[in-house]
Amino acid sequence: MIIDGKKFAQKLRNKVKQEIQSVKRKTGLTPGLTVILVGNNTPSEIYVKNKELSAQEVGINSKVLRFKSTISEAKLTSVIHKLNKDKKVHGILVQLPLPNHINGSKIIEEIDPNKDVDGFHAINVGNLSSGKDALVPCTPLGCYLMIKNVRKNLSGLNAFIIGRSNLNGKPMAQLLLKEDCTVTIGHSKTKNLKELCKKADIVVAAVGRANLVKGDWIKKGAIVIDVGINRVEKKGGYKIVGDVDFKSVVKKVKAITPVPGGVGPVTIACLLSNTLKAFKTIHHFKK
């Protein structure tokens, strides 16, 4: 089974759209998302545009605040404090990376945790790791939903996560631990990556190394989620590949996400779902 991320994302967006229509009818209120973009980094511009369009499509009031790369940390902090108080704003997202003179993690901590739709605030990180309700980072949340769609009961399965970033690997581990998986995390200092991987029923690769995971690393019938986005040269140009060597791995798996067209589209859909969740929390809506 090759998981079609575009289809999966469309389903999720439809669900969010329907729920937004229903909360609008009940309350007369509209969920709002504000994205802060600093500087003119081209990939960030593209990501932000996609987020804005997807949010509008499901009925979220979405706004992008653009600032020059010279903005001070103090000014950016005051912008966030204003958004924290704004009743029409339920989700605040600061597009990363920020310019070097701004401390990104300090800025994230200024966001009201209830509006932290990226799930990066320490309160959300802490809630997730202590098994409480939290806003969960969008990419691992999307991976989790796709895994659960393949197999509902994950209890007792061996999960191997390659990568330990705060953005992907660590929250992914917490989500699968909550599902009673036996979780192992690999990273750049892990000695026997292949051997550990071969024992896994679920593999999530979030590394940033093209085609690292090969077919002979994979147990037959495993679920493989490829988070990686790597640009590799191809006939004078470039193409995008994942961290998983799709060709050799696909033959052995129960399910796999391709790159592109796997995790990427689902990530943005999860941002919309997080914005709706934030709206419901702020307005004390039942889950």
Identified binder of ligand NAP from the candidate list 99, 208, 215, 261, rule CB under 6 A? 208
Catalytic residue among 51, 170, 219, 277: 51
Shortest CB 238 distance to ligand NAP, Å: 14
Cβ(250)–Cβ(256) below 8 Å: yes
What gap in Å lies between CA 229 and CA 263, rounded to an integer? 10
Give the per-residue contact string, 257-286, with ligand NAP (x = CB under 6 A; - = no).
------xx--x-------------------
Cα 54–Cα 56–Cα 60 angle in degrees, nearest 5: 110
Annotated catalytic residue 56: no
Q: Which residue, 92 or 172, has its beta carbon nearer to ligand NAP?
A: 172
Given the structure tokens 């799930």, which residue do they identify?
A: 119
Could you give the C-alpha distances from 201 to 167, 223, 242, 243, 246, in angstroms and in order?
22, 6, 19, 17, 17
Judged by CB, which is closer to ligand NAP: 158, or 211?
211
Residue position matching structure tokens 């932290």: 116
137 binds ligand NAP (CB under 6 A): no
The Cα–Cα gap between 274 and 134 comes to: 10
Catalytic residue among 112, 116, 118, 243: 118
For the four alpha carbons of 150, 153, 157 and 161, in that order, the dihedral sign comes to: positive
Question: Do 20 and 53 contact (CB within 8 A), yes or no?
Answer: no
Taking CB under 6 A as the binding criterion, the range among 19-27, 70-78, 113-121, 202-210 that sits at the site for ligand NAP is 202-210
116 assigned to active site: no
Nearer to ligand NAP, 50 or 77 (CB): 50
Active site residue 49: no
Question: Footprint of ligand NAP on residues 218-247 (CB under 6 A)?
Answer: 227-230
Residue 31, token pair as written in the block = 């969920």
Nearest distance from residue 69's CB to ligand NAP, in Å?
Answer: 21
Q: Which residues bind ligand NAP (CB under 6 A)?
A: 139, 162-165, 167-169, 186-190, 193, 206-209, 227-230, 263-264, 267
Active site residues per annotation: 51, 95, 118
